[in-house]
Amino acid sequence: MKKAVTIIIVVALIGVLGFAVAARLMKPKEEMQVKELPAVTVTTLSTGTIERETSLMGKIQPSDTYHVMPKTSGEIIEIYVQNGDQVKQGDPIAKIDNQKAIDSAKASYDSANASLQAAQDQANTAADALNRMTPLFQAGDVSPQTYTSTVNSANAAQSQAAAARAQLNSAKLQYDTQIEYSTVTAPADGTIQNQNMTLNGTVSQSSELCVITGSGQRKVKFSVTEDVLNNLSLGQKVTVEKNSSVYEGTISDLSRLVDSSTGLFSVEAELVRADALADGVAAKVQLVSATAYDALIIPADYVYYSSGNPYVYVYENGTAKRTFITLGITGDSEYQVLEGITESDKIVSSWTEDIYDGASVRIIDENGNIAAN
């Protein structure tokens, strides 16, 4: 009985296995899935002009600024202006008591005048002697030696008189100058600022009495690095933005003297129709800090980076080859290529996650259609 049961179980197992095998063999084969090659678009580059725009902060200043200083030392005895006053060229600013200098100059003038009178008298006397002797010499009544001596004396006296006259003129100029220096006047039209004079205070020739700022015109002053400075030129255009308003200007001064505290160089630009800008306010300055002509230009989207080094994918014989490049001027949307690729290279211009160095790729056009290699 046990033997019969065992035989039945074995037969059943064989049947089950046979059915499973048959079912496996009869199942249709699954089709092998083939993954398509990554599709990319390619393009060639062209040459052109590329510029780099730089934004800086600048400070608005009057176009013309005059630092008023006395030309003589002394006590301030009159003050004619206050901060905010409008002045015209030649208007009085202050009066300086330099009476000692005036008196000294007057004494020198009087002395020089007396010396001239004496020298002129001697010259007149020598001239009269020569005039009397000339006809005698012509008549043969005076020796040549005596006549020559008289001529020389007359010439010497005239020379001394001329020197005395020059000394007098110099003394008079000094005297007039000291009188003129006693009144400090405005060097130009404008507005008085930084007036810090004190009545009866003592000033020297290095004392700043006030500042006069020119009316109307404005300029912007800003600082740049040496690299930027070397790419700027006088007359170059700049724009200034303040409170949503834009003002145009041109570079008027490029300082070659570095600021030891910042390591930067000062640049000034004259602005046009910028009367609305207040003196001393900060404003945004935009300018072209670098330009390259006939440059190989690549869109920024085509460039990738590895450890900070830029590279592109170049299409060659069905594969994408990673090629490192050297960039020059970089803008917001395009870069200048200095080395690594040429105009004839086919640059991969689209991105796919399946692309890598040496990846096999197929080319499609902008519409997704397969393109000829």
Place of tokens 């001027």: 329
Q: How far is CA 250 from CA 30, 144, 277, in A?
A: 75, 76, 16
pTM over 0.75: no
Secondary structure (3-state) at 200 = coil
Strand-pairing partners, residue 31, are none
Architecture, CATH, for domain 42-50+294-363: Beta Barrel (2.40)
The whole-number mean pLDDT for each consecutive block of 10 residues of the chain, a chain of 373 residues, reads: 51 53 51 70 94 93 86 92 92 91 88 91 91 89 90 92 91 84 90 91 92 81 94 94 93 94 94 85 94 95 95 95 96 93 95 91 80 59
**pLDDT > 90: what percent of the chain?**
62
Strand-pairing partners, residue 55, are 286
d(CA 337, CA 335): 6
Place of tokens 């020598």: 126
Q: What's the DSSP call for residue 189?
A: S
What tokens appear for 356 in the block?
């890598």
pLDDT tens per residue, range 73-110: 899 999 999 998 999 999 999 999 988 888 888 899 89
Task: Enumerate the domain spans of the chain.
Answer: 42-50+294-363, 54-64+214-293, 99-181
> Domain 54-64+214-293: which CATH class?
mainly beta
* pLDDT of res. 26: 55
Helix (H) or strand (E) holding 66: strand 65-68
| Rg, C-alpha atoms of the chain | 47
**Amino acid found at 166:** A
